[in-house]
């Protein structure tokens, strides 16, 4: 059986010098855990390890594995032999079987799974390959030796008819086992558990230890502090800014800091060297850690200082002499405490369910939660390109530019003038000791707090470069982020798959036609049509929308006027630099289409339109109310001809012109023939007359949405949703709030430009789906809108984000965010002038795929806005945005 304990194995110790490129070595062995115990043998094993069972055939390894580990954790050589040969005892298949075993073990270790190898493993060559696998994946190799007398092993094998071994096999394996026992730790096993005899094997109990770096249950909130480097005064000031109350000893020295309720400080290392008061910083941080008010990881400077204090030979450079001189004035007892404190520091911490990683020099995702000298070395020193700069210092490899992990990595080590988020990483070393500032990150708020240095305490070898890691923009998209079949995790709709061919089509659009990808934070989802109406003369009718929402348990909906324009997304900055500060590109913002293309080719017209919207938002108080310097709006830009003029000329106008030129003459000729007494032509004449009327109605329908414009004159914008602001996904707010914001925008624009306002109100009506009178009133309003030439309306749940009724023990799924109900005359544009003649056939149209597509794109849009609000890296925001564009390539009737 397996027992869990919060204890953990010690992190590996780096034995290199201060240079980042030197090697790191593993240390640590099984200690008191392997002493004989007459009752129970507790075998301590790290919860992420490669456990290698060692013993002769018949020693009971498979029984031991079944008893103490889950079946999925155990990889047996016999099982692999059976997979490749259908016979677990076919020794001729051993080479292929072990190749398969090593492949499976590697996959499990890469996934972070405890793995047990059930094979004899009595030969060093066999164990060497397994130890190498553990090192490749930065997990601890552990050996459990089942040392059972060879006679008992031979007797057990005789009782198994499938084990027809020769008499020489067991003695040979036993001799190999005896030769191996003393060298297992030298081979690289971090722990060796030696079970002597069947009694110890049966009394053994596995105790799973958590890794010391695994603090995922600590959810914060946290205040993560960058490199201090002996700047005690600045640290005291910063802690005060963060709300911590200093605790001082009888000499007035700070020895602890009481945090605000529920918060914990976390230090990224490099507390020491260069600055004026390394002992004071250590005394304060050590006190906070001892009191449970803080966590701390080591920096490369702590590692070097610790080795120096332990009497090991190190190169005294990079400010180490200052620390040694200052500590020489301290009592020996304090220096011993410092030495022990540094020795016990863990390379990095996983926090908040694995969503946060804190280390000193940064850590790629493959190292998160792993324990090896290589991991510790990277956590302390980072990685280098192998080159040196003009100052003789190593050139850091920009690992953060390639980082694609889900966890936020907070680190220091490389000074930057201003901290910034790069691909879900942030560097907090802002060069306090060099006269810069001392910075902390409030987590999960992602708020950066800095205090200036009191002076330059130490002259830097090289200046703090503006292009240091963390101050550069990461690549917004990489081919690996979008190529092939993709699966996007969404909070509202689970996993959404994107086909490889659709991803390729989206990549073509994104790379050739889209605007600057740094601005492209959201794309409008497609909208599902109302269920098909059975009412005479109608293909779509409001009663079906109300019935659909009523069936989903939605009591209140809002009906919004549907403007016949083109869908437009607007990113509007409060001032000239607002968009650049948040998104990168300079300019007033952007306007884009459903496919991410710039809406208007005329940049001056784009800037003028955005300026009008910005002025209205400022006058309406939206920037101040939402505490933001930018807004993301969903809108319709009118007239339709502003964007679709070529479509109108080539398709709609051509059809209308052809019908207008031909049908009147056809009808006139038929009437003339009928007047000459040809009665058989009466039916044909009537049909052509109806076609003429339908053609005239078709032309009238599309001409309502076309008018000339010059500059902003004639242009109208009908916003209907405020999607996002700084740190806020507003799309999940009730529609009532959005309409109130929009009304204020429209009113502000009208007040400023009464002669020709740009912004246009969106008519609306609230409906109770269970109230017949309310439903009748909304239906009458729709009939009035469409009768006057309007396109129709969109019916939406008033609460915006809604889930339907649960069924059969399952939670309800997402309800359609909107159903469009288009008018009879508008549908002529969509289905053709004579569509009313074909209603029976059109009523059989399939809506299932379109409805599914609408829900998936809606969920992806919400996911993009969630990630944008959380300040996630641009590639993470682009992942769902790109998926929306890819889904638009799915085959679906474009008329729906």
Each residue's pLDDT tens digit, 617-638: 999 999 999 999 999 999 998 8
For residues 476-490, average pLDDT: 73
The b-or-e profile of 603-620 (16+ CB within 10 A means b, else e) is eebbebbbebbbbbbebb
Q: At what angle do helices 232-241 and 278-290 cross, to 10 degrees?
A: 40
Contact 681, 674 (CB under 8 A): yes
Quick: pLDDT tens for 275-299: 999 999 999 999 999 999 999 999 9
For residues 606-614, average pLDDT: 94
Lowest mean pLDDT among 362-366, 472-476, 609-613, 651-655: 472-476
Percent of the chain with pLDDT over 90: 58
pLDDT at 789: 77
Q: Over 90: is that where the pLDDT of 476 sits?
A: no
Quick: pLDDT tens for 673-732: 666 666 667 767 667 666 766 666 666 665 666 667 788 888 899 999 999 999 999 999
Q: Over 50: is that where the pLDDT of 494 sits?
A: yes
pLDDT at 842: 86
For residues 783 and 823, what is the distance between their CA atoms, to the nearest angstrom?
8
Q: Is 450 helix (H, G, I), strand (E, B) or coil?
A: strand
Task: Read off the pLDDT band of 806 (50, 70, 90).
Answer: low
For residues 836 and 838, what is the distance between their CA atoms, to the nearest angstrom?
5
The overall pTM is greater than 0.95: no
How many C-beta atoms lie closer than 10 Å to residue 336's C-beta?
Answer: 11
pLDDT at 713: 87
pLDDT at 288: 97
For residues 413 and 430, what is the distance between their CA atoms, to the nearest angstrom?
9
Lowest mean pLDDT among 50-59, 108-117, 476-485: 476-485
Dihedral of alpha carbons 521, 524, 525, 526, sign = negative
Q: Residue 564: name the closest of 640, 651, 633, 647 by CA.
A: 640
For residues 74-95, average pLDDT: 90
Q: Is 328 helix (H, G, I), strand (E, B) or coil?
A: helix
Q: Over 90: is that where the pLDDT of 644 sits?
A: no
Greatest Cα pair distance in the chain: 126
Burial of 784 (0-12, 13-18, 19+ CB in 10 A): exposed
Quick: pLDDT tens for 237-255: 999 999 999 999 999 999 9
pLDDT at 841: 84
Give the residue with greater pLDDT, 26 vs 135.
Answer: 135
Contact 356, 407 (CB under 8 A): yes
Contact 411, 360 (CB under 8 A): yes
Q: Is 633 helix (H, G, I), strand (E, B) or coil?
A: strand
pLDDT at 122: 93
Task: Read off the pLDDT band of 23 (50, 70, 90).
Answer: very low
- 709 token code pair: 């414009």
Task: Read off the pLDDT band of 466 (50, 70, 90).
Answer: very low
Q: What is the DSSP letter of 36?
A: -
pLDDT at 839: 86
Sequence-distant (≥ 6) Cβ neighbours of residue 329 within 8 angstroms: 279
Q: How far is CA 500 from CA 525, 537, 883, in A?
A: 20, 42, 11
pLDDT at 436: 93
Strand (E) or helix (H) holding 631: strand 630-638
User: What is the average pLDDT value for the chain, to the nearest integer?
Assistant: 85
Contact 216, 351 (CB under 8 A): yes
Q: Over 70: is that where the pLDDT of 453 sits?
A: yes
Task: Read off the pLDDT band of 502 (50, 70, 90).
Answer: confident
Strand order in the sheet with 140-147: 74-76, 115-118, 49-54, 140-147, 191-196
Give the residue with greater pLDDT, 350 vs 808.
Answer: 350
pLDDT at 359: 97
Strand (E) or helix (H) holding 515: none
pLDDT at 707: 67
Q: What is the DSSP letter of 707?
A: -
Sequence-distant (≥ 6) Cβ neighbours of residue 497 within 8 angstroms: 485, 486, 487
């Amino acid at each position: 059986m397996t027992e869990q304990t919060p204890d953990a194995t010690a992190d590996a110790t780096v034995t290199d010098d201060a240079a980042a490129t030197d090697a790191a070595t593993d240390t640590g062995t099984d200690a008191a855990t392997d002493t004989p115990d007459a009752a129970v043998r507790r075998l301590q094993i790290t919860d992420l390890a490669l456990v290698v069972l060692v013993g002769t055939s018949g020693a009971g390894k498979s029984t031991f594995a079944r008893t103490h580990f889950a079946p999925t954790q155990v990889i047996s050589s016999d099982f692999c032999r059976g997979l490749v040969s259908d016979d677990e005892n076919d020794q001729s298949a051993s080479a292929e079987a072990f190749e398969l075993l090593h492949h499976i073990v590697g996959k499990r270790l890469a996934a972070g799974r405890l793995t047990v190898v059930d094979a004899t493993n009595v030969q060093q060559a066999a164990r060497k390959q397994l130890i190498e696998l553990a090192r490749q994946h930065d997990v601890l190799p552990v050996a459990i030796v089942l040392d059972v007398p060879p006679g008992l092993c031979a007797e057990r094998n005789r009782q198994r008819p499938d084990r027809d071994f020769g008499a020489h096999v067991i003695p040979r394996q036993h001799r190999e086992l005896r030769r191996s026992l003393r060298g297992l730790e030298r081979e690289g096993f971090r722990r060796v558990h030696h079970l002597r005899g069947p009694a110890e094997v049966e009394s053994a109990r596995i105790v799973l230890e958590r890794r010391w770096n695994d603090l995922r249950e600590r959810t914060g909130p946290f205040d993560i502090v960058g490199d201090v480097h002996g700047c005690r005064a600045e640290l005291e000031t910063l802690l005060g800014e963060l709300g911590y109350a200093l605790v001082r000893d009888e000499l007035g020295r700070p020895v602890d800091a009481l945090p605000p309720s529920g918060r914990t400080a976390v230090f990224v290392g490099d507390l020491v060297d260069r600055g004026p008061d390394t002992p004071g910083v250590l005394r304060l941080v050590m006190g906070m850690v001892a009191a449970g008010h803080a966590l701390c990881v080591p920096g490369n400077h702590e590692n070097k200082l610790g080795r120096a204090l332990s009497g090991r030979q190190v190169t005294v450079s990079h400010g180490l002499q200052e620390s040694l001189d200052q500590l020489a004035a301290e009592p020996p007892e304090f220096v011993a405490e410092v030495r022990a404190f540094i020795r016990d520091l863990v390379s990095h911490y996983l926090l908040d369910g694995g969503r946060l990683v804190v280390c000193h020099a940064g850590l790629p995702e493959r190292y998160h939660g792993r324990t090896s000298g290589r991991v510790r070395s990277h956590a302390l020193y980072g990685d280098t390109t192998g080159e040196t700069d003009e100052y003789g210092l190593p050139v850091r490899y920009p690992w953060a530019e390639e980082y694609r992990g889900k966890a936020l990595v907070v680190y220091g080590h490389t000074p930057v003038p201003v901290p910034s988020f790069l691909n879900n990483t942030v560097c907090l070393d802002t060069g306090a000791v060099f006269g810069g500032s001392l910075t902390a990150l409030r987590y999960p708020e992602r708020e950066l707090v800095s205090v200036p240095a009191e002076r330059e305490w130490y002259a830097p070898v090289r200046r703090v470069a503006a292009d240091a890691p963390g101050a550069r923009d990461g690549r917004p998209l990489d081919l690996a982020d979008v190529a092939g079949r993709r699966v996007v995790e969404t909070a509202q709709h689970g996993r959404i798959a994107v086909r490889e061919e659709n991803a390729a089509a989206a990549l073509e659009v994104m790379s050739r036609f889209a605007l600057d990808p740094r601005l492209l934070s959201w794309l409008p989802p497609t909208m599902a049509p109302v269920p098909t109406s059975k009412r005479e003369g109608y293909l779509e009718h409001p009663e079906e929308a109300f019935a659909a929402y009523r069936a989903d348990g939605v009591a209140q909906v809002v009906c919004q006027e549907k403007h016949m324009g083109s869908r437009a997304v607007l990113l509007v900055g409060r001032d000239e630099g607002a968009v650049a500060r948040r998104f990168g590109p300079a300019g007033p913002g952007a306007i884009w289409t459903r496919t991410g293309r710039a809406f208007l080719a005329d940049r001056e017209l784009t800037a003028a339109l955005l300026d009008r919207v910005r002025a209205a938002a400022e006058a309406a108080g939206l920037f101040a109310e939402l505490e933001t310097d930018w807004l993301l709006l969903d809108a319709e830009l009118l007239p339709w001809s502003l964007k679709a003029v070529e479509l109108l000329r080539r398709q709609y106008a051509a059809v209308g012109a052809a019908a207008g030129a031909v049908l009147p003459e056809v009808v006139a000729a038929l009437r003339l023939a009928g007047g000459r007494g040809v009665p058989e032509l009466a039916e044909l004449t009537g049909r052509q007359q109806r076609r003429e009327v339908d053609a005239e109605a078709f032309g009238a329908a599309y001409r309502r949405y076309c008018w000339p414009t010059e500059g902003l004159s004639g242009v109208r914008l009908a916003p209907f949703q405020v999607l996002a602001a700084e740190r806020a996904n507003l799309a999940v707010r009730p529609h009532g709030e959005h309409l109130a914001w929009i009304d204020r925008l429209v009113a502000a624009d009208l007040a400023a430009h009464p002669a020709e306002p740009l912004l246009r109100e969106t008519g609306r009506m609230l409906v109770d789906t269970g109230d017949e009178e309310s439903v009748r009133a909304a239906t009458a309003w729709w009939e009035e809108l469409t009768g006057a030439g309007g396109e129709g309306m969109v019916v939406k749940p008033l609460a915006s984000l809604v889930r339907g009724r649960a069924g059969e023990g399952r939670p309800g799924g997402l309800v359609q965010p909107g159903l469009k109900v288009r008018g009879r005359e508008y549908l002529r544009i969509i289905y053709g002038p004579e569509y009313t003649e074909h209603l029976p056939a059109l009523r059989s149209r399939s809506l299932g795929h379109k409805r599914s597509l609408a829900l998936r794109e809606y969920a992806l849009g919400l996911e993009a806005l969630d990630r944008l609000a959380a300040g996630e890296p641009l590639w993470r925001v682009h992942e769902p945005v790109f998926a929306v564009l890819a889904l638009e390539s799915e085959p679906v009737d474009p008329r729906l």
